[in-house]
Amino acid sequence: MLKLYTAPGTCALATHIALAEAGAPYTVERLDFKNNQQNSPEYLKINPKGRVPRLVTEHGVLTETPAMLAYVAQTYPQAKLAPLDDAFAFARLQSFNSYLCSTVHVCHAHKMRGARWATQESSFADMKSMVPKTMGACFNLIERDMLKGPWVMGEGYTVGDAYLYALTLWLDGDGVMYITDEQGHRVGFIDGKMVNEIPGAMVQLGRSGDLWSDSEPPTIYIPTGIAFTVSLDGTGLSTMSTSSVTMI
């Protein structure tokens, strides 16, 4: 039995999809990133990188999405999730997945993980401001030069499509939606994380049962009698996004 450590909204979704598509026997453990569980002493003992995904197999532990996707495809060849009988085609698939891992993922991480590369607040802001441009360039390159169509590798669906799907979901997160009370306190999605500064306000994070979406938009409860404004900021979006806000 395989065990996948994951968290909503992360690239671990790609491996989760691959396991489901392969028909593999597996269990899932979700980490609570909001409470920094990935850096807890307990988790660091089993994954010193402090990140997801992490896949426990009968042979040992795997980290890094391209490695996991290759393992799933090769372990369950009947699912035909990779061109295993063509060395060059398989290398092309590995090349695509490596680009997503080493370039696209890193570009996106500059939005909220600037402390990995710099220490100055001005540097964080500069890196964040570049994310729409760099992510847009990455996906333009993928669409123009890397996709064979209709799937990544052509006519056959592969683990590369699961990986691409998982990272494409991040593009919507480049926008901002939050609520501000008369004192300037905020609650909502700001700078890539959920913030709740309004006294008495509650945030119910969505948890979808649908593997393909992995999570739902949050529900925000504001105490009766508080005057507030709703702000929508799409200047950070890398692509056009359609979203809705329901007020009750």
Question: Which amino acid is it at 131?
Answer: V
Contact predicate 89/83, CB 8 Å: yes
The DSSP-derived string for 105-149 is HHHHHTTT-GGGT---HHHHHHHHHHHHHHHHHHHHHIIIII--S
User: Would residue 114 be called left, alpha or beta, if left means φ above 0 and alpha means ψ between -120 and 50 degrees?
Assistant: alpha
Alpha-carbon distance values, 86 to 73, 90, 91, 92 (Å): 13, 6, 9, 10
Q: Which has the closest alpha carbon to 174: 186, 161, 162, 190? A: 190
Roughly how many angstroms between the first and final C-alpha of the chain, as a whole number? 45
Residues 213-232, buried b or exposed e (16+ Cβ, 10 A)?
ebeeeeebebeeeeebeeee
| Length in residues, the chain | 248
Q: What is the CA radius of gyration of the chain?
A: 20
* β-strands 54-57, 2-6 pairing: antiparallel
H-type helices in the chain, by residue range? 12-22, 41-46, 65-75, 87-99, 105-109, 121-141, 159-168
Token digits of residue 27: 């269990």
In eight-state DSSP terms, residue 225 is T
Cβ(238)–Cβ(139) below 8 Å: yes
pLDDT in tens, the chain (248 residues): 999 999 988 999 999 999 999 999 999 999 988 888 998 999 999 899 999 999 999 999 999 999 999 999 999 999 999 999 999 999 999 999 999 999 999 999 988 888 888 988 889 888 988 888 888 889 889 989 999 989 999 999 999 999 999 998 887 655 556 788 889 898 876 655 668 899 999 877 654 444 544 445 567 889 988 888 887 666 555 555 555 566 66
Token digits of residue 42 = 């307990």
